[in-house]
Amino acid sequence: MSTQVILLERVEKLGNMGEIVSVKPGFARNYLLPQKKALRASKANIAYFETQKKQLEADNAARRKDAEKEAKALENLTVTMIRQASESGQLYGSVTARDIADVVGETAKTTIARTAIQLNQNFKETGLFPIEVMLHPEVKVEVTINIARNEEEAKIQLETGVSASTAGAMQEAEEVDTEAQLSAALTEDALKAEQEKAAAEAEEAAEAEKKAAEKAAKKAEKAAAKQADEEEAEVSEEASEETAEEA
């Protein structure tokens, strides 16, 4: 079952001023009607709207113009909110739409209604958060809230774009990574040194083996030459003895 209403102003995701739309009864009863954003779409109310349409449109245009001026004062605005929190960034409490409306209004020197802050839930941790501020049904502006434990952490968050706890974790990770890289480099250098040492020792061993082989070859050559000389001498001696016997 649904309820038909005629919108008195633009309602996001629902319709524009003057449109007749169907909504859930609870939404009409608890929000649209008490907030004067709509009337029940009875014949009497539709007739009333038609008689007031020009005035309603004029009033809406005036409010929109004022909201657009106010939006310029909020453009690119970042506000800092100092809150108690744990080392991990979890707040001891929460930041509500009313808190944000107060600090944004104070910073911009204007008045921001709590209902203008578009929040689905309260914030419960530190960090940078973009917030939509609806100054008029047709005028929205984005501001950034910087929730931190102190001004120093707020500055870090603003410079890094992440929460101080996350920035700290990233820095620790970088330090660990640097240590790991240094350790790996040292290990690699040590391994390289061992490999070079082993290669040098192998080269020395090969050179020593080569020299030993050459020495052994020379020794064998001398031994062979000596043996050949002895055999030649023996043959010569036998030949001499045979010649003597013949004589």
Q: Confirm whether 23 is domain-assigned.
A: yes
More confident residue, 183 or 115: 115
Q: Confirm whether 136 is domain-assigned.
A: no
Q: What is the CA radius of gyration of the chain?
A: 48
More confident residue, 124 or 177: 124
**Residue-level pLDDT at 202:** 76
Q: Confirm whether 20 is domain-assigned.
A: yes
pLDDT tens digits for 193-241? 778 777 777 777 777 777 777 777 777 777 666 776 666 666 566 656 6
pLDDT tens digits for 23-51? 999 999 999 999 999 999 999 999 999 99
pLDDT tens digits for 145-161? 999 999 999 999 888 88
**Which helix (DSSP H) or strand (DSSP E) does residue 25 occupy?**
helix 25-27
Q: Confirm whether 229 is domain-assigned.
A: no
**Residue-level pLDDT at 3:** 92
Who contacts 132 (Cβ-Cβ below 8 Å, separation ≥6)? 117, 118, 140, 141, 142
Q: What is the CATH number of the domain that holds 55?
A: 3.40.5.10
Q: Confirm whether 135 is domain-assigned.
A: no
131 and 146 Cβ atoms separated by less than 8 Å: no
How long a stretch of residues is the chain?
Answer: 247
Check the CA dihedral 94-97-100-106 and report its sign. negative
- pTM of this prediction? 0.61
Neighbours of 6 (CB within 10 A): 20
Query: Quick one: tokens of 126?
Result: 């530190």
Using a 10 angstrom Cβ sphere, with 0-12 exposed, 13-18 middle and 19 or more buried, the burial of residue 135 is buried
In the chain, % of residues over pLDDT 90: 55
Count the domains in the chain: 1
Give the structural domain span for 28: 3-63
- The pLDDT confidence band at residue 91, using thresholds 50, 70 and 90, is very high
